[in-house]
Amino acid sequence: MAEYFNKIANRYDDWYRTRTGRYVDRTEKWLVFSMLHTKSGKALDLGCGTGNYTLELKKRGFDVIGLDASEEMLKIARSKGLNCIKGDAYSLPFPDESFDLVLSVTMFEFIHEPENVIAEIHRVLKPGGEVLIGTMNGRSSWFFFKRLKSLFVETAYRYARFYTPGELEMLLKSAGFTEVESAGVIFFPSFWPFLGFAEKVDRKCYKRCRDLAAFIAVRGVKD
């Protein structure tokens, strides 16, 4: 997967500057940071890509480091003044109990052994530390169309594995995390024109309708 993301790195951020991209980014960040209880400390952005969430964590006062397998993505992240390193999510290059927070957004779709990565996250978190994983829900209408498109045009969705909120919750619980909860946003397909209405639905339905959301997030706490 690193090879694919190396190829698209130079245009990866362009989507976030589109009208739909701005809406998605704003809405997903609203969900992520409304769920997080940790407001400061040392943070790891796991699968940081071009540094979208690394930069947001830095702006919010975290001592943050990003990690990714794609060197081309990391070059762009570092150009934003961020501390990011190349590494393997299956064997994190950090001592035990290093972080107050591990955040991983849209990385788990592209790993093959999620239980091993969750175990590594658990290892590097301090007792009382928090993890939040954000990923795509393949059962949503949004990603039905994205996956259909990937049959004809090479996109990241061709290589992705999608999760349900329940599956993500089970991954965390099985690894020993407590206080596990999930939520979701983005309920309409990407061509939906009424983004103001869509955002209102996101703010009202992010908990009770999470199984239908395109973007889902789960958090947990290490005892």
Query: Domain holding 188: CATH number?
Result: 3.40.50.150
Residue 51 structure tokens = 């540094």
| CA 190 from centre of chain | 18
- Could you tell me if 215 and 185 are in contact, meaning their C-beta atoms sit under 8 angstroms apart? yes
Residue 184 structure tokens = 């979701």
Average pLDDT, the chain: 91
| Percent of residues, the chain, with pLDDT higher than 90 | 76
- Could you tell me if 50 and 76 are in contact, meaning their C-beta atoms sit under 8 angstroms apart? yes
Domain count, the chain: 1
For 136-163, the pLDDT digits (tens) are 887 766 666 665 565 556 656 666 788 8
**How far lies 90's CA from each of 1, 32, 96, 199, in Å?**
14, 23, 14, 35
For 33-63, the pLDDT digits (tens) are 999 999 999 999 999 999 999 999 999 999 9
Pick the range with the lowest mean pLDDT from 59-63, 129-133, 137-141, 197-201: 137-141
Range of the domain at 165: 2-222
Closest CA to 108 of 117, 98, 95: 117
